Amino acid sequence: MSPLSPLAATAPVAPPPHTGGILPLIGGTAGLLTIAVLGIVLLLFLIIKVRLQPFVALLAVSIAVGLGAGLSVTELFGTVQRSDAVSTIETGMGGTLGHVAIIIGLGTMLGAVLEVSGGAEVLASRLLNLFGEKRAPLAMGLTGLIFGIPVFFDVGIFVLAPIVYAAAKRGGKSIVLYCMPLLAGLSMTHAFLPPHPGPVAAAGLLKVDLGWVILMGIVCGIPAVLAAWGWAAWIGKRIFVPVPHDMVEAAEEAKAALVAEQRKAGVEPHEKPVPLGIVFAIIGTPLVLILLATFSSIAFDPSTGRSVIEFFGHPFVALTIALLLAYYLLGIRRGWSRKSLEQVSTASLKPVGNILLVVGAGGVFGAVLKASGIAQALSDTFNDVGLPVIVLAYLISLVLRVAQGSATVAIVTTAGIVAPLLSEGNYSQAFIALVIMAISAGSIFASHVNDGGFWMVSKYFGISERDTLRTWTVLESVLSVAGFAVAAVISLFV
């Protein structure tokens, strides 16, 4: 387990000895805090009102904040003449993506192979048969929880929505009763568990072993999703929404188009469904390996055996092993060509570019806050407020989420703001992982009309905007509050 790297100096805040910024006109700590507040306001304005792409907005605000706080152009960008000159922007971007990009890329390809191979359908059908018609909503919830680990939230909805339609038609009840548990499972894994972008980005920015993030994600996420399932069972009996027949037809057309694309890529539908044990093994392999590596560094003295465990449990290695297992067990052994595996993997990476750029820009923002002295000023101010850092992290993330809608922007911005508080406190890896859970919990609070997920839920399940606010928005808030509550309580003991 690597020690936490200091993210900010511990000396008292003073105006940086730079020229060209507006800081000398404002003065000291007050000037730094003013620039920080103006930077956040500008970020929200650019995303909400100007509708600027979040990556561009974060980068523009980082540059504006750096110059405003007194950083020189050379400190921000480096120079053409000196390739060894320190560039705050390059350091922030590269330092963040060096950790995050590989994990997100490998996780995305793993999810794509599971999706295309039919793993989701096998998982859902087996659970539905196991639990029976009366407990079909629980089966849908477990399907979302398990399948949501390796796949993105929107992909999970696209793949699993037809199964929800079928279960709701067979049960003759409101589709809300079936889709909300599924959405709770997908949302929990997306917010709390690697290899999803939010927790992975926060772990990279705050220098936490991914094993601790996985452990705390499970510990905080399971009670949260149970609370959300309870809400879903209650509201599903009170709001009746019929199965959207137009979306059923659209799903069938989409599935036919997917099969056609798979055949074009050389992937033929297999006669036998994927064995459920293989699906569980592939999803569980990286989680188990990473957790073993994390706890071996605590339980064992340095030795060859511990080094071997830590090697296989490194996130890069663990996810690579899981992906290769998926390639062989779900692909090659079932008749896929190597070309089809390559095409499926490559296609899955296309939507990832935007996520990585936003995460990288969040790293730039954090680096600018540190280099300019703003991070230290924020740390001193937050310490004077007296609120626990885990509460501050949750509240900042929550406000940013509700204001601009993007969970990723809320996470990376909040991580940059709270990083100096954590670096000064000599906190354990377990505690910082809990802070990440608080940030992640805040980033999913009250999904409403400025969040793409809100419209996706409304569209795919035929729920009116008013009823989506009454069901989905409240469901996300229950997940958020319950997840944070568990993290806050556990933080008192670690």
CA distances from 464 to 164, 187, 461 (A): 17, 20, 9
pLDDT tens column, 290-326: 999 999 988 888 889 999 999 999 999 999 999 999 9
Q: Is the pLDDT of residue 6 over 60?
A: no
The predicted pLDDT at position 75 comes to 85
| Cα(293)–Cα(300) distance, integer angstroms | 10
* Range in 264-273, 327-336, 390-399 the model is least confident about: 264-273
The predicted pLDDT at position 17 comes to 43
pLDDT tens column, 202-249: 999 999 999 999 999 999 999 999 999 999 999 999 999 998 877 777
Pair 167, 136: CB distance under 8 Å: yes
Q: Where are the beta strands (DSSP E) in 127-191?
A: none
CA distances from 276 to 43, 119, 140, 143, 329 (A): 45, 8, 16, 12, 12
The predicted pLDDT at position 251 comes to 63
| Cα(366)–Cα(415) distance, integer angstroms | 8
The predicted pLDDT at position 421 comes to 83
The predicted pLDDT at position 199 comes to 95
Mean pLDDT of the chain: 87
471-475-477 Cα angle (round to 5): 125
Q: Is the pLDDT of residue 157 over 50?
A: yes
Q: Is the pLDDT of residue 2 over 60?
A: no
The predicted pLDDT at position 399 comes to 94
Pair 181, 141: CB distance under 8 Å: yes
Calculate what percentage of the chain has a pLDDT beyond 90: 57
The rounded Cα 155 to chain-centroid distance in angstroms is 14
| Cα(164)–Cα(183) distance, integer angstroms | 11
Give residue 455's pLDDT band: very low, low, confident or very high (50, 70, 90): very high
Query: Which stretches within 117-135 are classed as H helix?
Result: 119-131
Q: Up-side HSE of residue 124: CA atoms within 13 Å toward CB?
A: 27
Contacting residues for 475 by C-beta, under 8 A, at least 6 apart:
180, 183, 184, 187, 228, 231, 232, 235
Q: Is pLDDT larger for residue 245 or for residue 286?
A: 286
Q: Where are the beta strands (DSSP E) in 165-300?
A: none
Domain ranges in the chain?
A: 95-349
* Range in 65-69, 155-159, 246-250 the model is least confident about: 246-250
The predicted pLDDT at position 183 comes to 97
- Average pLDDT of the segment spanning 143-159: 92
Burial pattern 221-239, b for ≥16 Cβ within 10 A else e, equals: beebbebbbebbeebbeeb
DSSP state of 85: S
**Structure-token match 């694309």, residue found:** 261
Give residue 166's pLDDT band: very low, low, confident or very high (50, 70, 90): confident
Calculate what percentage of the chain has a pLDDT beyond 70: 88
pLDDT tens column, 84-132: 456 888 888 988 898 799 999 999 999 989 888 888 888 998 999 999 8
pLDDT tens column, 375-404: 888 888 887 788 899 999 999 999 999 999
Phi–psi pair at 337, nearest 5 degrees: -85, 165
Structure tokens at 315: 């996130």
- Average pLDDT of the segment spanning 285-294: 95
pLDDT tens column, 251-262: 666 666 666 666
The predicted pLDDT at position 106 comes to 94
Angle between helix 352-372 and helix 28-48 axes, rounded to 10 deg: 160
pLDDT tens column, 171-191: 999 999 999 999 999 999 999
CB atoms within 10 A of CB 317: 17
The predicted pLDDT at position 178 comes to 96
Q: Is the pLDDT of residue 13 over 80?
A: no
Q: Up-side HSE of residue 81: CA atoms within 13 Å toward CB?
A: 1
The predicted pLDDT at position 381 comes to 84
